[in-house]
Every structure is written in C-alpha cells, then in structure tokens.
Structure 1
C-alpha cells in the first residue's frame, strides 16, 4: 500500500549524530525554523522517528521540532549488550537535549510509551531540568506494564499466571516479525490500535514496527517487563500533561490516572475516546493541539521571562 503524503516524512532541516554517555551514536533530526520554539519528541518501543510523521505534519512549519531514534531503533546504533535500561534512556534523551537545545533556552519534551519512560527516567538530570519547560507523557506508564496489559484477555479466559507468562515472552523473544502481510497488520491493529484505525495508518505502524531489529526489541522488552519508575515520576516536577486513549490495551488508562496523581505539577489529563495505544498515529491532530498548547503556555515570551526568573540549574 502506498502511503498518502500526510504519512510521508518531510525532509529535515538538519540531521545530527549525537553521542550518548556510553559512546552509542544516535540519529537525530531537526525540522522547522532554527529560531522557533522547540519541541523534542521521543518515540516508543519498536518504533522510530517515522512514528512522529503525522504529528510533525499536524504541527506545521512554525515550530522547531527535534526527533531522535532510541538506541537500537531506526538509524541509531545498537548498543553493547549491557547498554539497555532506564539509565540509558535518560542518557540518550539528555544527550539529544544538550545537542539540540541551547544552554539558556528550553523546550517542550514529549514522550510516547517508552519515550515517556525516558522523560520520567531523566527527571532529576541537570541537562533535562535546565532545558525542559514542560512535558507531555502520552500512552505510557511507570510500572506494572505486564500485569495490567489487556492484549491477552477476553474470550480465551487464560489463567492469570499463563497470561502474564505469555506477555513476558512476547516482550523478550528476539524473533523477526517477518514481512508485513494482511494477517500481521490485523494482529498489530488488535494489539496496539483501535479497531477502526484507518488502513493507511495501520500500514505505516506495521512498517515501522516490523523494521525494528529483533535483538534490541527483545532487550528493550526485558527492560519494560521489569520497569519501575515510581521514584523518578514523583520527582518530575516540571509542568506536565498526560494523554491516553481509552481503547489502549498495552498501557490501559489506569496508567494515565496513576501518572496524573503522582506528578507534582500535572496540569491536565487528556483521555481520547476510542483511541488505542498509538495516539500520535491515531489522533495526531489532538496530540499536536496539546503540544501547541504547552508551547503557548510555557515557551511564549511571558512564559520565557518567568522561566528566566526561576533559579538557574546547571547542565
């Protein structure tokens, strides 16, 4: 299926190779005018910068948008065996912020799924705190990801322990997903998207997920299986908004409610009726609207003056 223009990535204004703390090289892109307010977007597990294409197009050309591939994803390097974990997520996000957000300026930072976990993991890092005006946590959670997932529930009525074991194995088995076929598209739609998601959006999602390398996907899956970011979440004290789809089976809305309750400076909880886990693909206009509102609230001239008056942090 040929993708429509709205789902095809625009040409970036700049491409960077960003070196993380352990030497892993990350692919990053900058879109839009250099002097515009900056939004940094962090994608989720088994995705890539392509995942943000509909949101990038919905945001228009008057913002500076930074995208990067998580390590082991897209055009970023595969790290050494021990180079996975929440510390690596935070290292990579902070490396991208240092490379793309000038000292003394700030950005709105948004993370979807594992990208949101990167935001939480970086909560106390000086490079994050000094360069972040506000955050959006989209379709993500801080703990209990396996036990809460709904992807193997329903009519099969498997025992709880068996369901949990199947979910854990699905996260951590390093098998190729194979070619994109009508069957694999249908399976992916059932797991991560709403039942009525448009066919071209499902096709883009399938292309992105199937392109993820099996070994990094499995090693990141092991990180997600054991994830607990309760402490960092409570210390993420920048202005924050939480967004989730009510039909999300991977990170059901209970996670969004937990995040909103635990965040010290949560401004809003946005629930999108009938939308699945892939909110930036399924509802890009709604996600872009929340990002634009955060920019207006926290990167407008008045907001910038207020931030300048706040105590400076090193980083």
Structure 2
C-alpha cells in the first residue's frame, strides 16, 4: 500500500511488475477504485510495469472539498507519474479515466506514447445532466442514483451475477464529495478540439450495452485521432473489463504487444 503526498493531497497507488518492464498506467471510472482492473491483470503480458491509483475523492485517496476540475485530475496524474518514474507509458483510461488520458496526452506527450480510450468520450453528457445528478447526490447520497447507474453500467444478465452486489457496494461506498467533485470535472470538460490534434497510437474499446458512454460516442471520439483502432465488446456495459474480462484482456494485450510488449 503506497501513498504519495502532493501538497495537501495524498493519493493511493500501487506499482507492480518488473522495474524494466513496459510502463502502463490504468485510470478507473467514476464511482470505482483501482480494483476495477483486478480481473484482467493476470491475463496481460508478463513484462509490464503497471501503475494503478485511486484518483482524488475515491478509494483510499484523500477527499478534498469539491468541486474538482479536470485540470486538477490531470495534474494529479501527471505528478504521480513523475513521482513513480512512469514516462513514455501506455495509458489505459476508462470513462473519466479516458478523459484524463486525453488531457494528459495533450499536455505531456513525454508521459503518454499510446493510449486506450475505454468507454469514454471527448465530452460525456451535458452540464444540465450532471447538475441534476449532483443535486440528487447532495440531497440523498449515492443511494439516490445507484439503481439507474447500475442499469447504465451493466448488461441485464450481469445483474444476476454473484459479483454484481460488490460493484454496487463499491459505488455506494464512494465518498459523496469525491463523486460529485469528479462529476463536476466531467461536466466541465470538452476535449473535442484538443483530442482532434492528438497523433499517437490509440485503441478505443466500447461495450454494446453501455448506457453511460454508448459505442457511437466512444467511436466518434476515436475518429478524432487518425489511425485509431476501434473494438466493440458485445454483451458488455460500461465496465467490460468486469463483465467480459477474457475478451477485454485479449484486445488490450494485442494492442500492448503492437506497442512492443513481450
């Protein structure tokens, strides 16, 4: 268990893999912690140096007063990568993690040489949509939005899976301030212009049943970047690394190997 201190903020992170391995950074979604990736890691190439972390307001990281800006989330990630010596890395981001990937690539190409945009967009939703959700959470906590969120996140069959309650509980145990703070960051972000200027190897992954970032949104974002690859995982929702880990790991491994992984 590792904590990095940046001013008043402490971020929880974990580094695994050989010291000389290919650096890969994973950034998770709103309402989850770094365990989001647990299922797929054993199925990836063995020569990876992997950094996972809990963004501010999530997991074991600090929960500063919100709202947060996307710039702050990107800066947190930048500082953590500098702190841990991760540079020239493959950045894998899901949902808000994919927005962080886009912003960081535009800011620090020395840190990001390729990226995986999973279930994300250059712009997600509208300010009014996020304002309504934030208001609901401020009034009734995350319990007030958990059921519609789970419907957007997971395919109907997965709701009967024994693992489903754990993901529901993870969402519910996210600090409300952390969730609303990051929701504000998403609401205020439009990376269409900056992402369209990116020129780096990119893989976009979408889930056919994703109600949060539908395939059209994910692939429209991918189309902003010349040469970006697009993969659709059928029968999966917003977190295909949870619902379809074998297929997700195979797609991700192929991309990592194309970037030089063993």
Shift, 1:286, TM fit: 2.3
* Alignment partner, residue 255 of structure 1: 217
Contact 1:54-1:280 at 8 Å conserved across structures: yes
Counterparts in 2 of 1:19 and 1:289: CA distance versus 1, 3 Å? farther
Is 1:66 aligned to 2:51, yes or no? yes
Mapped to 2, the partners of 1:146 and 1:251 lie a distance apart of 12
Mapped to 2, the partners of 1:255 and 1:187 lie a distance apart of 19
Counterparts in 2 of 1:72 and 1:290: CA distance versus 1, 3 Å? same
* Alignment partner, residue 142 of structure 2: 177
* Alignment partner, residue 97 of structure 1: 81
Contact 2:32-2:170 at 8 Å conserved across structures: yes
* Alignment partner, residue 276 of structure 1: 237
Give 1:221-260 correspondences, 5 Å limit. Answer: 221-260=183-222
Contact 2:192-2:221 at 8 Å conserved across structures: no
Shift, 1:48, TM fit: 0.6
Mapped to 1, the partners of 2:35 and 2:243 lie a distance apart of 14
Is 1:124 aligned to 2:110, yes or no? no
Shift, 1:223, TM fit: 2.5
* Alignment partner, residue 16 of structure 1: 2
Counterparts in 2 of 1:120 and 1:169: CA distance versus 1, 3 Å? same
Mapped to 2, the partners of 1:253 and 1:280 lie a distance apart of 15
* Alignment partner, residue 157 of structure 2: 196
Aligned residue pair count: 258
* Alignment partner, residue 285 of structure 1: 246
Give 1:139-178 correspondences, 5 Å limit. Answer: 139-146=119-126, 168-172=131-135, 173-174=137-138, 175-177=140-142
Mapped to 1, the partners of 2:122 and 2:239 lie a distance apart of 17
TM-score by structure 1 length?
0.74
Give unmatched runs, 5+ long, in structure 1: 1-14, 148-163, 179-183, 302-315
Shift, 1:170, TM fit: 2.0
Shift, 1:114, TM fit: 0.4
Counterparts in 2 of 1:299 and 1:171: CA distance versus 1, 3 Å? farther
Mapped to 1, the partners of 2:122 and 2:163 lie a distance apart of 27
Contact 1:32-1:64 at 8 Å conserved across structures: yes
Shift, 1:217, TM fit: 0.8
Larger radius of gyration: 1
TM-score by structure 2 length?
0.87
Mapped to 2, the partners of 1:116 and 1:234 lie a distance apart of 15
